[in-house]
Amino acid sequence: MARHALRWLGALLVVYLLAPLVLFAVRFARAPERGFHVAGLFPSLLISLLSATVTLAITCVTGIPLAYVLGRSRGAFARAVEVAVTLPLALPPVMGGIVVVYLVGPYSFLGRQFHGQLTNSVVGIIIAMTFSSAPFLILSARAAFASIDPALLEVAATLGHSEFSRFTRVALPSAGPEIRAGMTMTWLRAFGEYGAVTILAYNPASLPIYTVNEFMARGLAPTLAPTMLALGVAAAVVLASRARGPHRRHGNVATITPEQPSLTRSARLDVDVAVRRGEFELRLRHAAHHDNLAVLGPSGAGKSVLVRALAGLYGSAVGTVTFGEDDVSARRPERRRVGYVAQGFTLFTHLTVWRNLMFPTNARAGVARYWLTHLRLEGLEDRYPSELSGGQRQRVALAQALCSSPEILLLDEPFSALDMPIRRDLQRELRQLQRETGLATLIVTHDPEEAAYLAQEILVIDDGRLLQADLTRHLFARPASRDVARLLGVANLHQGRVTGDGVVTPGGTRLDADVGGLDAGTPVLWSIRPERVTVRRAVPPAPLDRAGVVVTATLEDLADVGVAVDLYVRLDGDLELRARRDNAKGFVVGESCDVTLAREDIEVWSDRGAL
């Protein structure tokens, strides 16, 4: 019912708008005299056409750059400029002309400099049209520029494009539909402007002034011709603005010989940065020991801020950044030679896959063809990003970054928005790429498994601070704190204290464990992998096949995770452990069970946070 009501309301407005036009068309068809023979009709049409076109050209050249600046600015001055630009829309056209008279009238400063030629001339018509119509294009373009994902411009910078190139090759095409709409409204408003033109340039007569003069002198009959001409021109302009260019095809891509890329090897990262963004501050210093790093942390930890700082997107004042022996701290992002894959699917939507791969300033067709084949993108050359699946778009983004021949590849959560099967496939492809090329990579993630799979060394950060950095295996085996262990997803992590023969938990459970020479009384963290926790029903236990401690526990929960079964058991002192088994046959939640913790399976290390 509501849907039909909306349709009827829309139809009512359409009828209201079309009815006068239909009645006019009927009158025009039946009228014996339409006014085409009246002197001055076509000269006034030509004046309006010329003046509106020049007005649009002036507005495009000056207004689009202004809209770009306003769209990317957030300060009070930008807001004040936007208000000033909008004000002409609030003035009735005649009042707009009166306001402009004070600037260009014959007795104004500018008017005297031009000997009064700025009014009652075609120049005066253009000035009046520009004042009344320019806000349409500026406001439309400003909204379009403001809606562009900043990551697109940042990616373009890392691909070697200057600020002007990013404006012309990314911002303008991305905002193209809104800019064309604004241009159409600006031209049509200028073409039909009457009030401001009447004040500034009554002569020579534009088409609206000619039409009013004929109406005042002779009535409706001679106004049929100029009105029909205006409607025809408006319809032609609207149709032309909605025309689309042909779909680009790159049929010659298959004939291009793939060219083996030359990638820098072992460009290890050395960084010492301090970045403040509003109330948040990131401080990090680290010299990598391996080529493949992962930055792990929760949302808001500063991971993306770090990657953007490494890419040079915050400028050179953030600190020191070195890739291998190459200090890039003072270089702009377009000169740092980083391959930056931002969060999400940051491809240039107005470009085909092939054009996206050829977008880096140093891209070569042979190298682009190599990555097209290597990343299984053949056959997609003519598609636009909107025509690709999530996995395909991510492969294109990776290929685009590689086509710039980077010294290091920076990946900001590149797989987080993908389904698990696609995510696993792309992780595998990236791992193979690391092995085959030797290219240094830094991947940002909140998934500890992904970090371990793709990196030899992991940096754990939170709240803008480095909590721990170590080789992947060492990090998972010896988290420096419970916070690090939590972020790593370490299971069965608990606190304890060293005794003479092992570890005692806060609840009093004593564990036979290798404490590695730690003094008695030292606070420690200990853990045991779930698959190494042995759980049996509370019956006379079978002989242990490994030395360890057997304790009585209660089965709190039982979860079938598909490939295995997780048992959650609670020991004395409110100590909970998770065990993993192939099946849970014979176990009942709430019953007692026996838990075996073998000495060689318990990891123990000093709890630095408790010291």
Task: With respect to residue 8, please indicate whether it lies within any of the assigned structural domains.
Answer: no
Helix locations, 292-332, DSSP H: 303-310
Q: Are residues 440 and 292 in the same domain?
A: yes
- The SS3 of residue 595 is strand
The radius of gyration of the chain from alpha carbons, rounded to an integer in Å, stands at 36
Yes or no: say if 340 and 311 are a contact pair by the CB < 8 Å rule. yes
Amino acid at 278: G
Q: Are residues 544 and 503 in the same domain?
A: yes
Yes or no: say if 133 and 89 are a contact pair by the CB < 8 Å rule. no
Q: Are residues 411 and 537 in the same domain?
A: no
Q: Kindly report, residue by residue over 337-360, the tens digit of the pLDDT.
A: 999 999 876 899 999 999 999 999
For residue 136, give the CATH number of its domain: 1.10.3720.10
Q: Kindly report, residue by residue over 388-447, the tens digit of the pLDDT.
A: 998 899 999 999 999 999 989 999 988 877 888 888 888 898 898 888 888 899 999 999
Yes or no: say if 130 and 56 are a contact pair by the CB < 8 Å rule. no
Q: Are residues 464 and 315 in the same domain?
A: yes
Establish how many alpha carbons lie within 13 A of residue 321's alpha carbon, considering only the half-sphere containing its beta carbon. 29
What would the DSSP string read from start to end of 88-104? HHHS-HHHHHHHHHHHH
Q: What is the structure's pLDDT at 509?
A: 86
> With left for phi above 0 and alpha for psi between -120 and 50, is residue 442 left, alpha or beta?
beta
Task: With respect to residue 3, please indicate whether it lies within any of the assigned structural domains.
Answer: no
Q: Kindly report, residue by residue over 216-240, the tens digit of the pLDDT.
A: 988 888 899 999 999 999 999 999 9
Q: What is the structure's pLDDT at 423?
A: 84
Amino acid at 69: V
**How many other β-carbons are positioned within 10 Å of the β-carbon of residue 411?**
24
Three-state SS for 39-65 is CCHHHHHHHHHHHHHHHHHHHHHHHHH
Amino acid at 500: G
Range 125-140 burial, b when 16+ CB lie within 10 A, else e: bbbbbbbbbbbbbbbb
**How many other β-carbons are positioned within 10 Å of the β-carbon of residue 420?**
8
CA distance 579 to 532: 7
For residue 423, give the CATH number of its domain: 3.40.50.300
Q: Which residues of the chain have pLDDT under 50?
A: 545, 611
CA distance 293 to 443: 6
Q: Are residues 213 and 330 in the same domain?
A: no
Q: Are residues 429 and 559 in the same domain?
A: no
Q: What is the structure's pLDDT at 140?
A: 96
Task: With respect to residue 247, please indicate whether it lies within any of the assigned structural domains.
Answer: no
Q: Exposed, middle or buried: residue 275 (CB in 10 Å: 0-12, 13-18, 19+)?
A: buried
Q: What is the structure's pLDDT at 221?
A: 86
Number of helical (H) and strand (E) elements in the chain, helices listed first: 21, 20
Token pair of 194, please? 């009457």
Task: With respect to residue 503, please indicate whether it lies within any of the assigned structural domains.
Answer: yes
For residue 585, give the CATH number of its domain: 2.40.50.140
Q: Are residues 463 and 516 in the same domain?
A: no
Q: What is the structure's pLDDT at 564?
A: 92
Q: Are residues 284 and 428 in the same domain?
A: yes
Task: With respect to residue 4, please indicate whether it lies within any of the assigned structural domains.
Answer: no
Q: Are residues 48 and 82 in the same domain?
A: yes
Yes or no: say if 556 and 576 are a contact pair by the CB < 8 Å rule. yes
CA distance 302 to 313: 14
Query: Which residues have CB under 8 Å from 405's CB, separation 6+?
Result: 261, 262, 263, 264, 337, 362, 367
Q: Are residues 557 and 581 in the same domain?
A: yes
Parent domain of 152:
19-241
How many distinct structural domains can be found in the chain? 3
User: What is the residue whose two structure tokens read 């590149």?
Assistant: 414
Cis amide prior to 204 (ω within 30 degrees): yes
- What separation in angstroms does the CA of 17 have from each of 10, 367, 563? 11, 56, 65
Q: Are residues 364 and 450 in the same domain?
A: yes
Q: What is the structure's pLDDT at 116?
A: 85
Bridge pairing between strands 457-462 and 292-296 = parallel
Q: Are residues 54 and 177 in the same domain?
A: yes
Task: With respect to residue 256, please indicate whether it lies within any of the assigned structural domains.
Answer: no
Cα 541 → chain centroid: 59
Q: What is the structure's pLDDT at 376?
A: 87
Q: Which residue among 241, 271, 289 closes a domain?
A: 241
Q: What is the structure's pLDDT at 541?
A: 57
Task: With respect to residue 349, please indicate whether it lies within any of the assigned structural domains.
Answer: yes
Task: With respect to residue 115, please indicate whether it lies within any of the assigned structural domains.
Answer: yes
CA distance 104 to 116: 8
Q: What is the structure's pLDDT at 248?
A: 64
Token pair of 55, please? 């007005």
Token pair of 341, please? 């894959």
CA distance 298 to 488: 10
